[in-house]
Amino acid sequence: MSRPRKHSLTLGGHRTSVSLEDEFWTAFREIAAAEGKGLNELAAEIDAARGIEAGLATAIRLYVLRFYRSSGGSQGSPARTVSSQ
């Protein structure tokens, strides 16, 4: 697994940096494309649904994990709920 890399996202008109490993960035892009959404749009949805105790990078990683668990490893519909569990 690669080291985390920072990428900039815009959430609610504000720029923020998120550090994820390349594998998670790739998977996040694939999920956004499968959903017909941009990275900023999907990140904003995840951000709005996450708990206060989870950072955005953690919430994105969990979203990616749930997506692939719910789709059996193929690109299908991601899990719709994002929680900080």
Structural domain containing residue 19? 5-70
* Ranges assigned E (strand) in 1-85: 5-11, 14-20
Q: What is the average pLDDT across 28-50?
A: 96
Q: What are the structure tokens assigned to 80, written together? A: 């719709």
Does 77 fall in a domain? Answer: no
Please check whether residue 53 lies inside any domain of the structure.
yes
pLDDT per residue as tens digits for the range 7-19: 999 999 999 999 9
Mean pLDDT confidence for 42-55: 92
Q: Is 6 exposed, middle or buried (CB count within 10 Å of its CB: 0-12, 13-18, 19+)?
A: exposed
Tokens 């789709």 sit at which residue?
Answer: 71
Is there a domain that residue 26 lies in? Answer: yes
